[in-house]
C-alpha cells in the first residue's frame, strides 16, 4: 500500500508531525523534566493551565495516563465513578479504573454519549457503608463512541450542578476538547470551569506525535505529578515532545474546522450509497460512524475490501465502521475515498 496514495481514516491518531513541527522539535530547548527544569515543558504546562483557566497543568505521555492519574488523584479504593456507558475510560483504557485506582463504575446510558443531570442525581449512592461511595463524574467531550458528539455547554452546566449538589468531583476527558471548541465557538476555559480536572490530547487532531496534559488546581496537579511518577510516566528531555504540542496549539486548532467539513462531506456521500445506514445529522466534528447491511458485508469484510483499494477505516462492531478525518487527509483524499467506497457499494447493488 502506497503511503502517498492511501487515505487513512482509521483515526486522527495516525497523523504525522509536519516539517515545521519537526523543526520546532529539533530546535527545542530542553532540560530534565523529572527534575523540573525542562523549559519547553514548563512553557507548555503554563500555556495549558492558562487555556483551561486553571492554576496548573502537567504534561504526560498519553491520554490514558492523563485520565488515570486524574482518577487516582481524585479517588480512594472503593469509590465509584459515574460515567457514560460508552466512555473511553471504560472501553479503551485496559480496565485501569479498577486495576489502578480500585474504583467501580456506574455506567449511564444516553444517546450519542450524553447523559443528564437527573441521571447523575439518581446514580449517587446513599451515605451508607453497604455501598460504594460516589466520588467522581466523568464527561467525555467530544464523545468518541457517540460519534464525535459535542456536549452542549448548558448540559455540562446542569450535570456539574447535580454533581456538586451531591458532593462529587468532576473530571473532563477532553482528548478532543479542541474539536468541541472549534465546533461551538466556545473557549476551552468555558467548558473547563465546570470541572475539577481536565485532560486534553495533542496527538489526535492537533497532529503532535506524543502527549497529553492534565489541568487543575496546584494541589491536585501535585498529586497527579506523584502518580505520573508512580505509573512510570516521568520523562527526561521531553521538551522535544512539548515543542510539538506547543506548535500544535499555535497552528492546528482553527484548522480542525476543515476536518469537520470533510467529515460532513463523507457522511453526506455515504448517505446516498446503497447498503449503508448513517445518521448524517449526528456528524458534528471529525468522527463518522456508519453501518453496513448484513446481506452485503460485515464491517470487517467491508474494511478489508476498501483497504485493498487504499482506503483505510476501522470495523468496530459486526456491522459498524468508523472513519475519522484529520490533518493528513485532504478534501481531495476524502473525495477519493468517497468514489472508491461508492464503487464498491454499487458493485453488488
The per-residue DSSP string of 33-90 comes to: GGGT--HHHHHHHHHHHHHHT-SEEEEES-HHHHHHHHHHHH--TTEEEEEETT-HHH
Predicted local distance difference test score (pLDDT) of residue 3: 52
Sign, Cα dihedral of 204, 209, 212, 213: negative
Provide the 3-class DSSP secondary structure of residue 315. strand
- The Cα–Cα gap between 177 and 198 comes to 9
Provide the 3-class DSSP secondary structure of residue 22. helix
* Residue 185 vs residues 77, 140, 180, 204: alpha-carbon distances, Å: 39, 18, 8, 20
Predicted local distance difference test score (pLDDT) of residue 5: 80
Predicted local distance difference test score (pLDDT) of residue 236: 95
Residue 7 has pLDDT above 50, yes or no: yes
What domains are defined for the chain?
Answer: 19-251 (3.40.640.10), 255-347 (3.90.1150.10)
Predicted local distance difference test score (pLDDT) of residue 349: 46
* Per-residue H/E/C for 112-175: HHCCCHHHHHHHCCCCCCCCCEEEEEEEECCECCCCCECCCHHHHHHHHHHHHHCCCEEEEEEC
**Per-residue pLDDT tens over the stretch 152-207:** 999 999 999 999 999 999 999 999 999 999 999 999 999 999 999 999 999 999 99
The structure's pTM equals 0.95
**Per-residue pLDDT tens over the stretch 71-104:** 999 999 999 999 999 999 999 999 999 999 999 9
Q: How large a percentage of the chain has pLDDT more than 70? A: 98
**Per-residue pLDDT tens over the stretch 116-139:** 999 999 999 999 999 999 999 999
Quote the Cα angle for 9-140-282, to 5°.
Answer: 55
Predicted local distance difference test score (pLDDT) of residue 4: 60
Mean pLDDT, residues 298-311: 96
Amino acid at each position: 500500500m502506497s503511503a502517498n496514495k492511501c487515505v487513512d481514516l482509521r483515526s486522527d491518531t495516525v497523523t504525522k508531525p509536519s516539517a515545521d513541527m519537526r523543526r520546532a522539535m529539533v530546535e527545542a530547548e530542553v532540560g530534565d523534566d523529572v527534575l523540573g527544569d525542562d523549559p519547553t515543558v514548563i512553557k507548555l504546562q503554563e500555556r495549558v493551565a492558562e487555556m483551561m483557566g486553571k492554576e496548573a497543568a502537567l504534561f504526560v505521555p498519553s491520554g490514558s495516563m492523563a485520565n488515570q492519574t486524574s482518577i487516582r488523584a481524585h479517588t480512594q479504593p472503593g469509590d465509584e465513578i459515574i460515567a457514560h456507558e460508552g466512555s473511553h475510560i471504560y472501553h479503551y483504557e485496559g480496565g485501569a479504573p479498577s486495576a489502578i485506582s480500585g474504583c467501580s463504575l456506574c455506567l449511564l446510558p444516553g444517546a450519542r454519549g450524553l447523559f443528564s443531570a437527573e441521571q447523575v442525581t439518581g446514580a449517587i449512592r446513599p451515605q451508607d457503608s453497604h455501598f460504594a461511595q460516589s466520588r467522581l463524574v466523568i464527561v467525555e467531550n467530544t464523545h468518541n463512541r457517540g460519534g464525535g458528539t459535542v456536549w452542549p455547554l448548558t448540559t455540562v452546566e446542569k450535570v456539574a450542578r447535580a454533581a456538586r449538589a451531591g458532593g462529587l468531583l468532576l473530571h473532563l476527558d477532553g482528548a478532543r476538547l479542541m474539536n468541541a471548541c472549534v465546533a461551538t465557538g466556545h473557549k476551552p476555559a468555558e467548558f473547563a470551569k465546570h470541572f475539577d480536572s481536565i485532560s486534553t490530547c495533542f496527538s489526535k487532531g492537533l497532529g503532535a506525535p506524543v502527549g497529553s496534559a492534565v489541568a487543575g488546581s496546584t494541589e491536585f496537579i501535585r498529586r497527579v505529578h506523584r502518580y505520573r511518577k508512580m505509573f512510570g510516566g516521568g520523562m527526561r528531555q521531553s521538551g522535544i515532545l512539548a515543542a510539538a504540542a506547543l506548535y500544535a496549539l499555535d497552528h492546528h486548532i482553527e484548522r480542525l474546522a476543515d476536518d469537520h467539513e470533510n467529515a460532513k462531506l463523507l457522511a453526506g456521500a455515504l448517505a446516498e450509497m446503497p447498503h449503508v445506514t448513517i445518521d448524517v445529522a449526528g456528524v458534528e466534528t471529525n468522527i463518522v460512524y456508519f453501518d453496513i447491511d448484513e446481506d452485503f458485508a460485515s464491517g470487517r469484510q467491508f474494511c478489508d475490501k476498501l483497504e485493498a483499494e487504499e482506503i483505510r477505516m476501522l470495523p468496530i462492531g459486526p456491522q459498524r465502521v468508523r472513519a475519522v478525518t484529520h490533518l493528513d487527509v485532504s478534501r481531495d483524499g476524502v473525495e477519493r475515498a468517497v468514489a472508491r467506497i461508492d464503487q464498491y457499494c454499487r458493485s453488488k447493488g
